[in-house]
Amino acid sequence: MFIFADVKKSLTVRRLIAVLLSALLLSPGWLSLSGFTLLAAFVPLLWVSNSYDGSRRAWWGMFGWAALAFVLWNVATIWWIWFATPVGPIAATLASTTLNLFAFMLFHTVSKSTGRGVGYATLIAAWIATEYAYTVSDFSWPWLVLGNGFSHDVWAVQWYEFTGVFGGSLWVLLCNIAFFEVWREWRRMARWIVAGCVVALPMIGSSVIWLREGRRTAERSVAVSIIQPNVDCYEKFSGDEEAQEENIHDLLAEVPAEAEFILLPETAVPGYYREPELTDVYFPDGGTSEVWLRLADSLRSAHPDALLVTGANTMRFYGAAKMTPTARMRAGTYYDYFNTAVGLDSTGRVQIHHKGRLVIGVENTPTWVFDALRFLVIDLGGTLGQIGKGEHGTAFEHNGVRMGPAICYEGLYGDFFGDFVRRGAQFMAIVSNDGWWGDTPGYRHLFTISRLRAIEHRRAIARSANTGRSGFISPRGDVGETLGWEERGVLTARVPLETRTTVYTRYGDYIARIAVFLMVLCVLYAVVYRVKRKNHLVP
């Protein structure tokens, strides 16, 4: 009896060590380190699953260990949200862990009833399908998609131009399965060969593409200037608006005369403005706001051939018959707030893009949720609650060049990012507010994820942040000159223009859509198999 107790205690300790090891291996890619640890991160957790039988009690034991592993992964990688709101990391961890548990426990259940082969297929399909849910649901948080973990290893994932980040998730899961099979039967040389091929072949192919892209030269380029104003993110919405405007004009004076595109960050222009003329919200009959007139005057005097792209808060008013699902009402008038990218040239011509992927808990909070759970809503300044939502990416046109003005969170969504390219964007801009979380891994990883977007669509990216990290990224994912945390200044570089369309740009998240279909098939097969076994039709 005592021997049995000692064995049980020893097994519990080994399971705990395995769970801690999985969490440790899952995390580095989001902490400014390499993501290659992901290739073996699930092996300890797969061992824990293998150590249990198919009983109901064992199922709950596995559930507890898996929950601990995924909670620790979330805590290790998104703790910095705490600096914006204590509720944020708790809510994000609950949502993310729930989806992770669904996928892993589905694998555990199927593998115990049908065998490892179908179980592995279920793990791959269910994990990618739940990651896809991060990107398409109203409450979207795609930060921990496994493929995002390679943002510091772009030389190894150049094939994202064919698969997007879900191809990276597929690679991670296949490698883990291969390594686990090696662990189970390490004497079988065939298992080692399979594992070596699964790991090495994608990297070899990526290296070939990396060299090819390094030799590629664009036929045309444009001069782009990036401005980083370095305004405190919280004081920005309650501070001195006039001082912020003067800061912008002082920095505009530093922009070289040859600049063809000038970028300011998300919500850089203080205040709220009515579309489409950008009139002052409180004085709609006074014509275009003085803020925008002065910006146009500045362009005419110093940069007559440039397009200024900047973030701003705008409002659109509707009649009752045209109101949108996100519209608010005041004094009998319906209206929407938008987080907007505005393109302004020296003639005063205005182009507008509304942010289409909204930050959960800040911009994307349905009215009934906002009213019932107001205490959970994250206050990052500006407008709280559900704001208006853009339907697609937009390409701004200037002097025969088309560019995509993505806004902050939109840079997390590969398929949506591709919408700018599908509409003709020859290079991309990202305007962002990165400073909510302080000098933490949060803003740094938000910048490096942009490297994956550049590879997926083979578009150069110019990124302007309020503070955090602004800079240039090549179509190969290489990082050019940057401005770091709490740096104020202007960067200018020649940005290559591209017109080619990648496989991923054309077909988007096709791997994830296939995964959803395969997950359903695996579940149906497991159900049928279990019924047949119950009726003694299969062993």
Residue-range definition of the domain harbouring residue 109: 2-215+511-534
Note the pLDDT of residue 284. 66
Query: Looking at residue 123, what is its pLDDT?
Result: 98
Residue 504 inside a domain? The answer is no
Do 238 and 179 share a structural domain? Answer: no
Distance of alpha carbon 250 from its chain centroid, rounded?
A: 32
| Cα–Cα distance, 413 to 165 (Å, whole number) | 10
Contact between 421 and 404 (Cβ < 8 Å): yes
Same-domain check for residues 150 and 283? no
Does the pTM surpass 0.85? The reply is: yes
Do 197 and 244 lie in one domain? The reply is: no
Q: Is the pLDDT of residue 333 over 50?
A: yes
Question: How far, in Å, CA of 316 to CA of 278, rounded?
Answer: 10
pLDDT of 108: 97
CA dist 146 and 174 (Å) reads 12
Output the domain CATH number for residue 314: 3.60.110.10
Pairing assessment for the beta strands 261-263 and 221-228 based on DSSP bridges: parallel
Contact 445, 80 (CB under 8 A): no
Q: Is 243 domain-assigned? A: yes
Asked if 137 and 247 sit in the same domain, the reply is no
- In this structure, is residue 505 part of a structural domain? no
Cα distance between residue 418 and residue 407, in whole Å? 13
Residue 379 has pLDDT above 80, yes or no: no
286 has a pLDDT exceeding 70? no
339 with 458, same domain: the answer is yes
Residue 503 belongs to a domain: no
C-alpha 257/C-alpha 277 separation (Å) is 27
Residue 212: strand, helix, or coil: helix
Number of domains within the chain: 2
pLDDT at 197 over 80: yes
Of 122-131, 141-150, 164-173, 320-329, where does mean pLDDT reach its minimum? Answer: 320-329
pLDDT tens digits, residue range 46-68? 999 999 998 999 999 999 999 99
342 and 285 share one domain: yes
The larger pLDDT score, comparing residue 39 to residue 327, is at 39
* 22 half-sphere exposure, CB direction, 13 A CA radius: 25
Distance from C-alpha of 532 to C-alpha of 526, rounded to nearest angstrom: 10
| Sole residue written with tokens 């198999």 | 529
Residue in the block written with tokens 């279920």: 122
